[in-house]
Amino acid sequence: MSEKKEPNLIKWGLKYSLSAAIAGILCCVAPAVLFMFGLMGGVYAISFADFFYEQDGSTGTGSFILRGVAVIIGIYGIYAYRKKQNQCSIDPNRKRKNLIILSLTILILGVGLFFTLEKWSSWYFDKYIVPEQQKELKITPEL
C-alpha cells in the first residue's frame, strides 16, 4: 500500500499567507499595479481605492469585506492542510506541531505582508498617483 506524501509546510504557509495578504489589501495594490503599467490613470486609481474607504479616509465596508475574505483564505489554508495531513500516517504529536507552526506562519506572514503592502501602496499613492490625479484634474475641462 502506497503512503501519501506529507504536504510541504513552508510552501503551504507561504502560499496561503501571500494569498490572504493580497486579498486583504487588493483595494490598494490593484490600482497601484495597474497605474504602474499604464493601464489606469490617476483619477480612476484614486476613485477605485476610494470605493473601499470612507470620505474621511477611514476603513470602509468594502475594505472590511476584503479583510474578511483574507481571514477566510487563511482559515481555509489551515483546514486544507489539516485535512491533507490527516491522510498521511505520521505521528499525531507531529501533526499537531505542524498545524500550530502552519497557523503561526500564515498569521505572522499574512499580517506582516498585509501591513507591508499597505505601507507600500500608501507611499506609492502619495508619491505617484495623487500628483498624477492632480494633473489630470487640472487638464480636464470644466463642464
Do the beta carbons of residue 7 and residue 81 sit within 8 Å? Answer: yes
**pLDDT tens readout for residues 53-105:** 887 878 888 899 999 999 999 999 999 999 888 776 678 888 899 999 999 99
Residue 103 inside a domain? The answer is yes
Q: Which three cell numbers stand for residue 119?
A: 505601507
Residue range(s) defining the domain that contains residue 110:
9-135
pLDDT tens digit sequence for 20-41: 999 999 988 999 999 999 999 9
Per the structure, how many domains does the chain have?
Answer: 1
Q: Which amino acid is at 114?
A: F
Indicate whether 141 belongs to any domain.
no
pLDDT, tens digit, 9 for 90 and up, residues 2-21: 556 778 889 999 999 999 99
The residues facing 59 across adjacent strands are 53
The pTM of this model reads 0.83
Has residue 22 been placed in a domain?
yes
